[in-house]
Amino acid sequence: METVISKDGTQIAYTKQGTGPSIILISSAAADYQDASPLAEHLSVNFTVYNYDRRGRGRSTDTSPYETAREVEDIEALIAVAGGQAYLFGSSSGAVLALEAANLLGDSVAKLFLYEPPFIINDSRKPVPNDYVEHLNALIKAGKRSEAVEYFASEALGIPGEYIGYMKSDPSWNKMESLAHTLAYDGIIMGTTQSGNPLPTGRWNVTIPTLIMTGENSEPLFHDAAHALVELLPRAAAHSLAGQDHSAVIMAPEVVAKAIVDSER
Q: Which domain holds residue 151?
A: 132-189
pLDDT (average), residues 156-163: 91
Answer whether residue 195 is part of any domain: no
**Residue 165: what pLDDT?**
87
Examine the domain organization and report whether 42 and 148 are in the same domain.
no
Examine the domain organization and report whether 35 and 83 are in the same domain.
yes
Question: In total, how many domains does the chain have?
Answer: 2
Q: Which of 17, 45, 9 is nearest to 33 (CA)?
A: 17
Average pLDDT, the chain: 97
**Residue 15: what pLDDT?**
98
Contact assessment for residue 180 and residue 140, using Cβ atoms and an 8 Å cutoff: yes
**Residue 161: what pLDDT?**
87
Q: What's the half-sphere exposure (Cβ side, CA atoms, 13 Å) at 107?
A: 2
Contact assessment for residue 48 and residue 77, using Cβ atoms and an 8 Å cutoff: no
pLDDT (average), residues 167-195: 95
Examine the domain organization and report whether 222 and 143 are in the same domain.
no
Examine the domain organization and report whether 171 and 234 are in the same domain.
no
Q: For the chain, state the CA radius of gyration.
A: 17
Element (H, E) at 3: strand 2-5
Give the model's confidence band at 171: pLDDT under 50 very low, under 70 low, under 90 confident, else very high: confident
Examine the domain organization and report whether 85 and 208 are in the same domain.
yes
Examine the domain organization and report whether 26 and 151 are in the same domain.
no
Contact assessment for residue 181 and residue 56, using Cβ atoms and an 8 Å cutoff: yes
**Residue 205: what pLDDT?**
96
Least-confidence region, from 164-168, 234-238, 255-259: 164-168
Examine the domain organization and report whether 159 and 248 are in the same domain.
no
Answer whether residue 194 is part of any domain: no
Q: 68: domain CATH number?
A: 3.40.50.1820
User: Any alpha helices (H) in the chain, and if so which ranges?
Assistant: 33-43, 68-81, 93-105, 132-141, 145-151, 161-168, 172-178, 183-190, 220-232, 248-251, 253-263
